[in-house]
Amino acid sequence: MSVKLLPEYSTKIFNDFYESVNDFIYDYQNIGIPVTIDVTTSATTLYYLLYSRYGNSPIANEDVNQFKYKLFSVIWQFGPTWEKKLDIQKKLRNISDADLLQGGKAIYNHAFNPETAPSTSDLTEINFINDQNTTNYKKSAMDAYMQLWNLLDNDVTEEFLRRFRICFKQFVADEKPLLYVTEVEDEE
């Protein structure tokens, strides 16, 4: 004989609506809120991240449609920035040592008696120069790696996933009477 406790909530859980990535993608593309992240990569990844974080969490709304609109509005608001941060982090992680050590270059031009008089607020370049100075900067390996170290972020996703908390109940407890399921062996 085995006894299993089944929790009962007053609302459904995330997995009740999105048992597969296809269900999630379908709603994302058809809910009426514009698609703002790539469906084949980012939205698919996001589904699995939400499934792992909130899969068995009861939704905060009694109204299923309101839950879906809330869920996809979070993606609409914050998804593009999350997606871009992932892209930047990937580029930073893949930067070559040569590019990392390369510093900046500054060019200073000076024109004595140019044929036109630029104004002090003019940002366009004049076509005549008498003198040019350049400064080329090469980073030390220590400075370059320390700069990269400071730019790398261990996790750009955590902050984004926390934004979805508003879609789920914050204090989860059995809200209906506890039900017990027992399996009774045949008594012969």
Is the pLDDT confidence value at 174 over 60?
Answer: no
Whole-number Å distance between alpha carbons of 5 and 188: 27
pLDDT average, residue stretch 138-149: 90
Nearest residue to 161 (alpha-carbon basis) of 45, 30, 3: 45
Here the tokens at position 66 are 């309101």
Full-prediction pTM beyond 0.85?
A: no
Is the pLDDT confidence value at 64 over 90?
Answer: yes
Is the pLDDT confidence value at 118 over 90?
Answer: no
Beta strands in 18-165 (DSSP E): 102-110, 131-138
- Phi first, then psi: give them for residue 91, nearest 5 degrees: -65, -40
DSSP code for 163: G
